[in-house]
Amino acid sequence: MAQQLTRDDLFSLEKYQEMRSDMRSEVMAHKKNRNLAIGPNVTMYFEDPTTIKYQIQEMLRAEKIFDAEGIQEELDTYNPLIPDGTNWKGTMMLEYVDVDERIEALANLIGIDRQTWMQVEGFNKVYAISNEDLERETEEKTSAVHFMRFELDNSMVEAAKKGSPIYMGIDHDNYTHAVSPVPENYHIALVGDLK
């Protein structure tokens, strides 16, 4: 089960600068088992303590934050993205390189976050609880970034841990894709997020 990060888990700006290149390489390798493409234009980036620690360190570095209050503010912002043993949490990115295509897609994909699901074989689909921090769509368009969690009951957790396949997909009228099942390396990473 993932624990919330504290100031004691973080490196000083100086120490982080010294180790940044090595840490970045390690985190990029770690993320290869956590960044799942759902069709051609959506990627789910499953978060865990490793990915969130890296994100916080990068924010502290970029903003040159070294005071206790500022560090705590970053922890309070990012800790909710760490799964807590009965869920999977992720950042969903809608990825369109062409600007005009992206504008059109975001207008046509309103509600896509609420139509994104995960499923442990033998159980019903679990639809995402999304964007609890703030509203990320208007009547005209959705956001290119959505924060999600997928809440599992105890029987789903046990089944996944025992090896039941895990599926993921999107059932939006304008974007319907599924990963059936997720590859083994993703399965291992996702099961590792469960208590």
pLDDT given for residue 132 in this prediction: 77
Query: What CATH number does the domain located at 33-46+85-195 have?
Result: 2.60.40
Which residues is 91 bridged to in the sheet? Answer: 45, 147
- Average pLDDT value for residue range 91-109: 95
DSSP 45-83: EE--HHHHHHHHHHHHHHHT--SHHHHHHHHHHHGGGS-
Q: Structural domain boundaries of the chain?
A: 1-32+49-82, 33-46+85-195
- The two tokens of residue 96 are 């369109």
- For 65-72, the CB contacts below 8 A with 24+ separation are 66/12, 66/13, 68/7, 71/7, 71/10, 72/7
Q: State pLDDT tens for residues 122-178.
A: 999 999 999 877 777 788 999 999 999 999 999 999 999 999 999 999 999 999 999
How far is Cα 60 from Cα 53, in angstroms, rounded to an integer? 11
Whole-model pTM: value is 0.87
Average pLDDT, the chain: 93
Question: Residue 99 is inside which H or E element, if any?
Answer: helix 99-108
Please write the tens of the pLDDT for every residue from 58-77: 999 999 998 999 999 999 98
- Taking the C-alpha atoms of residue 166 and residue 112, their distance in angstroms, rounded to an integer, is 20
